[in-house]
Amino acid sequence: MWVEDWTPRAACKAAQPDQLFVRGAEQNKAKQLCAGCPVRTECLAEALDNQIEWGVWGGMTERERRALLRRRPNASWRTVLETAREQSAPAPAARTTV
């Protein structure tokens, strides 16, 4: 399920803001913070749909996000990511009839 109000659940909520706006190898550390974030997908969609140019968002650097935006410049990334997540969710367990 998509989390509309995702920022209160952000894993980086208590981090220093500068921690996600770093360059070079430091970006890998920032991405590690995102790896366990429960709202990573929502965060990434926000950054892509708003073409946020700086910082690590949703586990992706600005360069990685630019590459995605070039591939699908008119996409609604929320729709793309929400659909992908729904399709990758495990099917509900089959019911057994007695």
Other Cβ atoms less than 10 A from the Cβ of 43: the count is: 24
57-96 positions binding ligand SF4, by CB under 6 A: 57-59
Nearest residue to 81 via CA among 55, 59, 61: 59
Give yes or no for residue 11 binding ligand SF4 (CB under 6 A). yes
Which residue, 56 or 81, has its beta carbon nearer to ligand SF4? 56
19-38 positions binding ligand SF4, by CB under 6 A: 20, 33-34, 37
d(CA 24, CA 51): 20
Give the bridge partners for 60, in sequence order: 57
* Residues at the contact surface with ligand SF4, assessed by CB under 6 A: 10-12, 20, 33-34, 37, 39-40, 43, 56-59
